A and B are shown apart, each in its own frame.
Chain A
Amino acid sequence: MAEKQKRITISPITRLEGHGKIEIFLNDDGNVDDAFFQVVELRGFEEFCKGRPIEEMPRLTTRLCGVCPWAHHIASTKCLDNVFHVKPTETARKLRELGYAAHMAHSHLIHIYALGAAPDLLIGPTAPPEKRNVVGVLEAAGKLDPSYPGVVINGRAAAQRIQDIIGGKTIHPVTGLPGGLSKGITEEQRKEIEELSKVLVDFAKFTEQLVVDEVVLKNKDYVDLITSDTYMLNTYYMGLVDDNNNVTFYDGTVRVVDPNGKEFVRFGEDNNQYLDHITEHVEPWSYLKFPYLKNVGWKGLVAGEDSGIYRVAPLARLNAADGMATPIAQEQYKKMYEAFGGKPVHNTLAMHWARIIENTYASELCLKLAEDESITDSNVRNIPTEKPTEGVGIVEAPRGTLFHHYVADENGLVKEANLIVATGNNNAAMCMDVKGSAQKLIKNWEVNEGLLNMVEMAFRAYDPCLACATHTLPGQTPLEVNIYDSKKRLYKRLSQNI
C-alpha cells in the first residue's frame, strides 16, 4: 500500500500551471509592443452541461468555482426564472438578495484583509513578501487595536453564517429554484441574521476607518501611489444599477458609462440584450477571450473613448452608478470621489478603496433586509407553469458582472449554455495594466527588476480568478513573465514563487 509519511518526498506543483503567466512582446528596439495575461482555462463546462435537466444548473454551476459559488448559484437561478418564465415571490427575492449581500461582504472581507488592501497598505508595499500576509496584518493592526484579530474572524464568520442559514447547505448553496427558493427562514433565524448583520455593519465601519483614514489618508506615500498614473486606464465601466442608478449586486439594469462618466448604454436580462452590446475578441496568445463593447468596436489593447474595452468589479461598479443605496456607504462613496477630485476614477489601485465601500453597502443591505419582518413569510416560491425555453441571468459577482445564458430543448434539457465571467470582462484591462508596467520598466532591452512587483500589484487590485486554486501564499503570487523579441523568440524569463 502506497502510504508515504515523509515530507521530503512531496513537492506539490502548481495546479494546471494556474499561476499568472504573462507574455510580453518587444519590438525591434527592445521596447514593449504588447503584453498578455494568461489564464489556463478549465475546459468543457458548456459541453458538460448539455443534455442535463436545466433545473440542475444552479447546483452544477456552484462547482465552477470554489471562490464564488453564490455568484454562480444566484446568476443561474435568475437565469432559470427567465427560462421558465416565472418571477420569484417578493419574499424569495428578498432572501436571495440577503444571502447574496452576505456573500459579497464575505468575499470582499477576505480580499481586503488577506489579499489586497491590508497586506499592501497596512504592512507597506515595500515590506518583504513574507510579512505582507494576513498574519502580518493581524499583528500590525493588533498594535492599533488589541481586539482587532478577533474582530476580523468574527466579521467574516458572521457573513458566512448568514450564507449558511439561507443557502441551505453548509458550503455550497442549493436553495435556488426557478420562481423562488426551496425554503424560507424562521423568525428565530431572522433575529439571528439581524444580530449578525449588526456585527457586519460595525466591522465595515471599522474597516473603512482603519484602511482609509488611518493607513492611506495619513500617509502621503500611499496617497501618491494610489493616485499616480502608474495604473491608470480611462476605459468604459460596467455595473448593475437600481432604479435610482445606485450600485446593486443581485438585480437591476446593466449600465455602461463612457470614460468621461456619461451613460453610454443600459440593458437588462430580457431578449438576450447583452448579445447586442457585448461581443468577444480572440487573440492567438491568450486562452481567455476579450469581451468588448460591440457598438464601439475592438481597437486593440488601448484605452479611451474610441476603444470598446470596458472594466467591471468594485471601482467599475461605483463609476457606473450615481451613488450607493445605503447611508454609510453613500458617505464613504462621496468621500472617495472627493479625494480623487471627481468621477470617474481611472486609477486601478482605487479598486481596493471601492471594495471597502461595497463591503459597507453589502453589510448595511443585510441589516436592512433582516430588519424587515415580512422576510419570514412562508410564500417563497411561485411554481413555474410554462415550458422552459431560453433566458439570461445577470448579477454582480464580487469580481464583476456575471452573465449566464441557457437554452432548453423541447424536453427541458440544456441545449446551449453560455457564460461570461467577471475575470473575462476585465481581461483586456488587466493586459493593459501589465503592458503599462512593462512599458515603464523595460527600455531598450533593459528589464528592470521591479517588473514582477509592479505586475503583482495590478493583479491584486483586480483579484483575477485564475481558474481556481493555485498554490500560493498571500504576498507571494506565483508569476511567470516571458519576454519575447520581435521574432517571437524567448528573450528573458522572470518568475517568482513557482
Chain B
Amino acid sequence: MKTLVLGIGNPILSDDGAGIFACRMLKDAISGSCEFEDVDVEEGSVGGLILLDHILGYDSVIIIDAIKTENGKVGDIYKLGMDDFVNTLHTSSPHDVNFATAIEIGKKSMPESMPEQIVIYGIEVDRVDVFSENVTPEVREAIPRVVEMVVRDLKEAKRREQ
C-alpha cells in the first residue's frame, strides 16, 4: 500500500509550521526502515487543488496540519477522517478551493487515482502571525506525540495488509 504523509504549514511562521516539524521528525524516525519503504513523507505550504495534485496515486494519505478551534487547548491533537471534515489552517485558502472541494473534484474527474483513505491530524496552535522558527512550548510538546500516533497508524495499516 503506497502511503503519503504530508506535513503542511509554514516553517518560519511560529506555530504555523507544526505539521512540517512533525513530518521532519517522522522522516528521521522512519527513514532507513524497510518496514516503511512504501511510505513517502513530504512537506509543503500549500492547500486546495495543489494538495490534490500531490495526493493522486497514493492508496492512503495522512496530513498533519495546524488548526485553530474555538476555545481550543493549545497542544491538543485531533484526528479527523473524511467524514468529519473540517478546515485546518492550510486545507483552505481564499486563492484556491478548500480541501473538501478539491477531493470532490478529484473523485469526479479521476476516481481511479484517488486515495482510498485520507486522515488529517490537526495540532491546536497559538501563534501564527509572527515570522519565527520557534514554536510555543505546548506545540513543541505535541509534535512527538503526533509523530507517535502516525507511526502507530502506519504500523497498524501494515499489520492489516499482511
Contact = CB atoms under 8 A, between A and B. Distances in A.
A7 B97 contact: no
A341 interface: no
A170 interface: yes
Given A13-B68, A134-B105, A42 B95 contact: no
B75 interface: yes
A111 B96 CA distance: 7
B95 A110 contact: yes
Contact of B86 (A10, A110, A153): A10
A65 B92 CA distance: 13
B42 A4 contact: no
B96 A114 contact: yes
A352 B47 CA distance: 23
Most buried by B among A7, A63, A468, A469: A469
Contact of A135 (B77, B93, B105): B105
Interface residues of A, number: 59
B47 A66 contact: yes
Interface stretch (B28-36, B49-57, B154-162): B49-57
Interface string A1-29: 11111110111110110000000000000
A69 B49 CA distance: 15
A43 B129 contact: yes
A42 B89 contact: no
Interface size class of B (residues with CB under 8 A): 35 or more
Interface string B1-40: 0000000001111000000000000000000000000000
A375 interface: no
Most buried by B among A4, A10, A67, A134: A10
Most buried by A among B47, B83, B85: B47
A172 interface: yes
Contacts of B80: 5, 7, 10
B12 A60 contact: yes
Contacts of A149: 105, 108-109
B44 A110 contact: no
B10 to A, nearest CB: 5
Nearest to A107: B95
A115 B89 CA distance: 19
B101 A133 contact: yes
A12 B95 contact: no
A4 B121 CA distance: 10
A189 B75 CA distance: 44
Most buried by A among B48, B77, B129: B129
Interface string B79-101: 11101111111101111111001
B70 interface: yes
A466 B129 CA distance: 12
A376 to B, nearest CB: 25
Contacts of B47: 66, 469
Nearest to B85: A7
A12 B50 contact: no
Contacts of A472: 92-94, 98
Interface string A29-71: 0000000000011111101100000000000101100110100
Contacts of A43: 129-131
A471 B12 contact: no
A69 B45 contact: yes
A474 B97 contact: yes
Nearest to B52: A153
A196 to B, nearest CB: 13
A471 B87 contact: yes
A171 B90 CA distance: 14
B120 to A, nearest CB: 11
A320 to B, nearest CB: 23
A10 B98 CA distance: 17
B90 A66 contact: yes
A153 B106 CA distance: 8
B44 to A, nearest CB: 3
A113 to B, nearest CB: 9
Given A2-B77, A160-B50, A471-B87, A134 B97 contact: yes
Contacts of B83: 7
A114 B75 contact: no
A46 B153 CA distance: 40
A133 B97 contact: yes
A172 B93 CA distance: 17
A5 B153 CA distance: 15
A44 B130 contact: yes
Nearest to B149: A3
A67 B93 contact: yes
Contacts of B88: 12
A463 interface: yes
B73 A12 contact: no
Interface of B: 10-13, 42-50, 53-54, 67-70, 73, 75-81, 83-90, 92-98, 101, 104-106, 108-110, 122, 128-132, 145, 149
Please list the 7 inter-chain residue pairs (A to B) with the smallest Cβ-Cβ separation, ordered nearest first.
A7-B84, A171-B44, A48-B131, A66-B45, A2-B76, A67-B95, A471-B87
Interface of A: 1-7, 9-13, 15-16, 40-45, 47-48, 60, 62-63, 66-67, 69, 107, 110-111, 114-115, 133-135, 138, 149-150, 152-153, 156-157, 160, 170-172, 463, 465-474, 477
22 contacts: A3-B79, A4-B77, A12-B67, A12-B70, A12-B87, A41-B129, A42-B131, A43-B129, A44-B131, A48-B12, A66-B10, A114-B48, A135-B101, A152-B109, A153-B109, A160-B53, A171-B45, A172-B45, A469-B93, A470-B93, A471-B92, A473-B98
Given A10-B86, A111-B95, 14 more contacts: A1-B145, A9-B78, A10-B69, A11-B70, A12-B69, A15-B128, A48-B131, A66-B46, A135-B105, A149-B109, A153-B110, A171-B46, A468-B93, A469-B47
